[in-house]
Amino acid sequence: ALAFAERGASVIVNDLGADTKGGGKSSAAADKVVEEIRAKGGKAVANYDSVEDGEKLIQTALDAFGRIGVILRDRSFARTSDLDWDLIQRVHLRGSFLVTRAAWNHMKNQKFGRIIMTASAAGIYGNFGQANYSAAKLGLLGLANTLAIEGRKYNIHCNTIAPVAGSRLTETVMPPDLVASLKPEYVAPLVLWLGHEQCQENGGLFEVLKLSLYLRWERTQGYIVRQKNQSMKPESIRDHWEKICDFTDATKPANIQESLQSMVSVLSQVESQGDVGVNPAAAAASAAVGQKLPPTTFSFNHTQCILYALGVGMSTKDPDHLRFLYEGHPDFSCLPTFGVIPSQAAMMDGGLSSVPGLNIDFTQVLHGEQYLELYKPLPTSEIVLPAVNTYSGNELVCYNQFSVFVVGAGGFGGKRSSEKAKPPVPPPKRSPDAVVIDSTTRDQAALYRLSGDWNPLHIDPSFAAMGGFKAPILHGLCSFGFAARHVLKQFADNDPSRFKAIKVRFVKPVMPGQSLQTEMWKEGNRVHIQCKVKETDAVVLAGAYVDLHRASGASPENLSQGGGLQSELVFAEIGRRIKDVGSELVKKVNAVFGWEITKDGKKAAQWTIDLKSGSGSLHKGPYSGKVDVTMTVSDEDFMEVVQGKLNPQKAFFSGKLKVRGNIMLSQKLEVILKDYAKL
């Protein structure tokens, strides 16, 4: 309202004056804004009617200013899940309809109007516990899109915004720093432009924070599963589901006409086809020997990398996992074992079944062994061409070797093994150097299959029963991913560039919900691993190992750990203070802080301040426990902050200080640092 008035608009400020829970009524909120506008020489009138009295609201504008130009519908009540369905629909959806209907004919007669509906990310994407609110907000988008079509010839344009801003409704759910940084002033410029007569945008949907983002619908090319003169079966949908959902070369229909046009085009293709015959599978089994699969294209981005990490058990509960789960993390990386996904897609998406002589019953397929070798860290988004070798463009990224057993099949002749196969290696005959226990969830297989392994054995109870299992089993490659990331964290500080290769033999299946126990033996650059089900002590991965590249530069094993760093003096002083009054600090703080100090852009030292357990402690180097919040900062900037020359919040917002984990806990650091400005 202030921004419109500043640009010369006459403004009706409508606010029922309800509290944040939707109750009560007051003129104070609207009056305050009107007074601000008038104090600056602008024109404004207050209105306190409910949006359900849309005619009264519009009449106020006509009486005061003689015309109506722009309608901006904003949220009126708190987004709490206990509000009943009808109330939310009445305020958000019906209220917008009534106000707009009251203004519509006036806009038509004057041949000008600009309508901005306020939707929400909850309506676009959905949000847990907000079914009524989400439905109303997405309903607003449908209303706005239709108004854009109907109003076009009258120069009435209708667009939708989904803003995020700090306000009295969001200050209770957002940290104060975030509320302060998401000012309504950052939303207003987009609204002003959409309301301007020169703006010809119509039917748009915009998300807006500090930046404005245009959203549009996208549709896959799909797959024709119906043939002329043949019935259409759900099995055809199932078998081609990945192609149906493939957004490669996606189209972007802008209206219902474009949507229907492509449908009609497909229909005509089907009708013009002759009867489709079925080719008999008459090739002999020996024809499969020596066959090569044709190159195929596999594209992925950070979404698939994150989905895979979640599928193999990574969680935001562990701060060390965030680099694999958050695309905005400064060290965002793809888990090395994601390398199996492109090649598996090439093999399973019609690959193996297309080989002459391999008439495979997939209920009898068992994944026997897997070998993966990386030649470089995997990118977090790329288009790759997988066979057994996987390329990023022309550059070889990784090599996969699958050993697959089909129960009851055979007849190929020759030896039962191959010289080319990477052999499993038994672990040393001594106690393991490290053991990690990790729980899978009941939905682990359902989540992992979203990375591309659509075998029904892992989701369909009836299909699993045909294979002789009491229930769907966990993917072997999911256990493979669990074990690999255990090694990566235990012996490589979660650095994907140190991962070279992994070999495993799949021994027994794991049921979703069971716990995996990974036992590890380090010998040089090779880490031998054996994985068991903790509840049954059954070995599920055997003869396995991970080969690592040697640590170099500033990697964890060769950290300078403070050599020549000014910050070492600060941590030494903090260590002395913890020894003196650690118990008192533990009571006040109750958190574990991790510090990563960099020098010339590389990690140079690592410290952990434990003010949660015992009487507190200071650790130098890698830390095996859980850290609540981790801060990354250069040695120079750290000293600037400690000496009070650099404000920590400014350092954070300028990117000099990076924080991951529970950011609010960082406020408690003042208890530790404030006394050490002068060392």
The token duo for 504 is: 């495993």
Could you report the per-residue pLDDT of 243-255, keeping only the tens digit for each? Answer: 877 878 787 776 6
End-to-end Cα separation, the chain, in angstroms? 51
The pLDDT of residue 554 is: 38
Cα 204 from Cα 217, distance rounded (Å): 11
Q: What is the CATH number of domain 218-273?
A: 1.10.287.4290
CATH topology of 218-273 equal to that of 564-677? no
Could you report the per-residue pLDDT of 465-476, keeping only the tens digit for each? Answer: 877 788 899 999
The pLDDT of residue 514 is: 94
Query: In this structure, which topology does domain 295-407+422-548 adopt according to CATH?
Result: Thiol Ester Dehydrase; Chain A (3.10.129)
Look at 578 and 437; give whichever has higher pLDDT: 437
Could you report the per-residue pLDDT of 530-547, keeping only the tens digit for each? Answer: 999 999 999 999 999 999
- If DSSP states are collapsed to H, E and C, what string results for 197-247? CCCCCCCCEEEECCCEEEECCCECCCCCCCCCCCCCCHHHHHHCHHHHCCC
Query: Which residue reads 């950290």 in tokens?
Result: 559
Assigned CATH class of 1-215: alpha beta
Strand blocks (E) in 490-616? 499-506, 515-523, 526-533, 539-548, 591-599, 602-611
**pTM listed for this prediction:** 0.40
- Domain extents in the chain: 1-215, 218-273, 295-407+422-548, 564-677
Sign of CA dihedral 452, 454, 458, 460: positive
Judge whether 377 and 496 are in contact, CB under 8 Å. Answer: yes
The 10 Å CB-count burial string (b at 16+, else e) for 413-452 is eeeeeeeeebebeebeeeebebebebebeeebbebbbebb
The token duo for 370 is: 């897997």
Tell me the catalytic residues. 133
CA dihedral 200, 204, 208, 214 (to 10 degrees): -100
The token duo for 403 is: 């050993």
Strands 602-611 and 617-620: antiparallel
Crossing angle for the helix pair 54-65 and 95-110, to the nearest 10 degrees? 40
Q: Which residues contact 234 (CB under 8 A, 6 or more apart)?
A: none
Helix, strand, coil in percent for the chain, rounding step 5 = 40, 20, 40
Strands 499-506 and 389-392: unpaired
Query: Which residue reads 């020359």 in tokens?
Result: 645
Could you report the per-residue pLDDT of 634-669, keeping only the tens digit for each? Answer: 989 988 888 778 888 788 878 888 888 887 777 777
Confidence band for 79, pLDDT divided at 50, 70 and 90 = very low
Query: In this structure, which topology does domain 564-677 adopt according to CATH?
Result: Nonspecific Lipid-transfer Protein; Chain A (3.30.1050)
CA dihedral 460, 465, 466, 472 (to 10 degrees): 40
The backbone torsions φ and ψ at residue 587, rounded to the nearest 5 degrees and listed phi first, read -65, -40
Strand blocks (E) in 335-445? 365-374, 382-386, 389-392, 395-406, 434-439
Could you report the per-residue pLDDT of 152-185, keeping only the tens digit for each? Answer: 999 999 999 888 766 666 665 556 766 666 677 7
